[in-house]
Homo-oligomer: A and B are copies of this chain.
Amino acid sequence: MTYLFNQPSAFAAELIEGFVAANADKVRQVRGGVVRSTRSKAGTVAIVVGGGSGHYPAFAGLVGQGLAHGAAMGNLFASPSAQQIYNVAVAANNGGGVLLGFGNYAGDVLHFGQACERLRADGIPCELLPVTDDISSASVSEIEKRRGVAGDLAVFKVASAAAEAGHNLAEVFRLAQHANQRTRSFGVAFSGCTLPGATHPLFEVEKGHMALGMGIHGEPGIKDTLVPRADVLAEIFVDNLLSELPAGVAAAKGQRVAAILNGLGSVKYEELFVVYRRVAQLLASAGVTVVEPEVGEFVTSFNMAGASLTLMWLDDTLETLWHAPANAPAYRKGSVIVAEALSPAEREEPVQETLPEASAVSQQSAQRVLLLLEAMAQQIQSSAEELGRIDAVAGDGDHGIGMERGVLGAVAKAREVAARGAGAGTLLCRAADAWADQAGGTSGALWGVALTAIGTALGDQQEPDASRVATGVRHAREGIMHFGKAQPGDKTMVDVLVPFSDHLSQAVAQGASLSDAWQQAATVAHDAAQATAQLLPKMGRARPLAEKSLGTPDAGAISLALIVNTVGSLLHDKTPV
Contact = CB atoms under 8 A, between A and B. Distances in A.
Interface string A251-279: 00000000001000111111111111110
Interface residues of A, number: 60
Interface string A1-27: 111111000010011111101100100
Contacts of A3: 190, 227, 267, 271, 305
A219 interface: no
A334 interface: yes
Interface stretch (A154-162, A229-237, A562-570): A229-237
A14 B277 contact: yes
Nearest to A297: B269
A18 B274 contact: yes
Interface stretch (A144-152, A288-296, A357-365): A288-296
Interface in A310-358: 332, 334-338
A475 to B, nearest CB: 39
A307 B57 contact: no
| Copies held by the complex | 2
A280 interface: yes
Contacts of A261: 22
Nearest to A233: B4
A302 interface: yes
Nearest to A19: B273
A515 interface: no
B6 A269 contact: no
Given A11-B274, A270-B302, A5 B295 contact: no
B14 A268 contact: no
Contact of A18 (B25, B267, B295): B295
A6 B273 CA distance: 12
A556 interface: no
A233 B6 CA distance: 10
B332 A332 contact: yes
A270 B280 CA distance: 31
A22 B335 contact: no
A298 to B, nearest CB: 12
A11 B53 contact: no
A552 B77 CA distance: 51
A81 interface: no
A16 B274 CA distance: 8
Interface string A211-241: 0000000000000000101110100000000
11 contacts: A14-B277, A15-B273, A18-B276, A21-B293, A22-B261, A22-B294, A25-B292, A56-B269, A56-B270, A266-B303, A269-B300
Interface of A: 1-6, 11, 14-19, 21-22, 25, 53-54, 56-57, 61, 190-191, 196, 227, 229-231, 233, 261, 265-278, 280, 292-295, 300, 302-303, 305, 307, 332, 334-338
